[in-house]
Amino acid sequence: MIGYYQLPGGKVAAIEGDCPFPPLEQALKEPNGLIAIGGDLSCTRLLSAYRQGIFPWFSEDEPILWWSPDPRMVLFPDELKISKSLAKTLKKHPFELRINTAFRAVMQACSQASRPGQDGTWISPQMIEAYCDLHAQGHTVSSECWLEGKLVGGCYGVRISRMFFGESMFHHVTDASKVAFVNLVEYLKNQHVGMIDCQMKTPLLTSFGGREIPRKVFIQKLSELVNC
């Protein structure tokens, strides 16, 4: 049986054990699609969440918070846009590009990246261990930029069948995260991935061609792609 927390924006499900997520229609509009509190970060729970269009995002001093925003920011790989300045950088081939050779290191670097308007990180040691468990099962992808033997940029996310869920990126050298992202999109295109979940709208993702779609449309497309 699902219990509930009463928050200013309404009731939010309290989940534990094998308790399922509530219907997406119960997600709060404010904050951005909060749908449940609690549970764990087991591979089974995480994969179930992503298959339903739900993802975890919380600080170390908080319980696990689960979200499903409406609208949803996505990027269709065929709609990738590359600015003129980034195109010039790509032509120079400044980095060695790799896929899935340093997943944990990419996550750790993302957890240490400073982000405007954010105090601290949601990529806690608990999150790193959980996603490394997913990686061991073949459900994650990291795209990496290396320079003189050092990891200088990257991004990572979760892949289920023909669907990819982007999580975070970092850079230590100018444009390294952008180049890693382009490398990721090209890799996913070759793997016949049909949609990249970007979760929330940002200027960077918009510049790459990302756009918001209604959650209902997102879930319909998601269901098709994860079951291919």
Q: Which residues contact residue 83 at a Cβ distance below 8 angstroms, ignoring those fewer than 6 apart?
A: 207
Q: Is 185's pLDDT higher than 90?
A: yes
Q: What pLDDT, on the 0 to 100 scale, is given for residue 138?
A: 98
Comma-separated ranges of CATH 3.40.630.70 domains in the chain: 73-226
pLDDT at 228 over 90: no
User: What's the whole-model pTM score?
Assistant: 0.95
In the predicted model, is pLDDT for residue 165 greater than 80?
yes
The fraction of the chain above a pLDDT of 90, given in percent, is: 88
Residue 30 or 103, more confident: 103
Q: What's the confidence (pLDDT) of residue 114?
A: 74
Q: What is the pLDDT of residue 52?
A: 98
Is the CB of residue 67 less than 8 Å from the CB of residue 32?
yes
Residue 120 has pLDDT above 60, yes or no: no
Q: Is the pLDDT of residue 70 over 80?
A: yes
In Å, how far from its chain's centre is CA 69? 13
- Token pair belonging to 120: 């601290």
**Interatomic CA distance for residues 162 and 166, integer angstroms:** 13
Query: What pLDDT score was predicted for residue 157?
Result: 98
Average pLDDT, the chain: 95
Q: Would you give the end-to-end CA distance of the chain in angstroms? A: 32
How many CA atoms within 13 Å lie on the side-chain side of 119?
A: 1
Count of other CB atoms within 10 angstroms of residue 93: 9
C-alpha span between 98 and 100 (Å, rounded)? 7
Q: Is 80's pLDDT higher than 60? A: yes
Is the CATH number of domain 3-69 3.40.50.740? no
Distances (CA, A) of 21 to 3, 17, 48, 57, 163: 11, 11, 9, 15, 20
Residue intervals in the chain for CATH 3.30.70.3550: 3-69
pLDDT tens-digit map of 169-181: 999 999 999 999 9
Mean pLDDT of 199-204: 94
Using DSSP, state whether 145 is helix, strand or coil: strand
Residues 34-45 as b or e (16 or more Cβ within 10 Å = b): bbbbbbebeeeb
Fold for the domain defined by 73-226: Aminopeptidase (3.40.630)
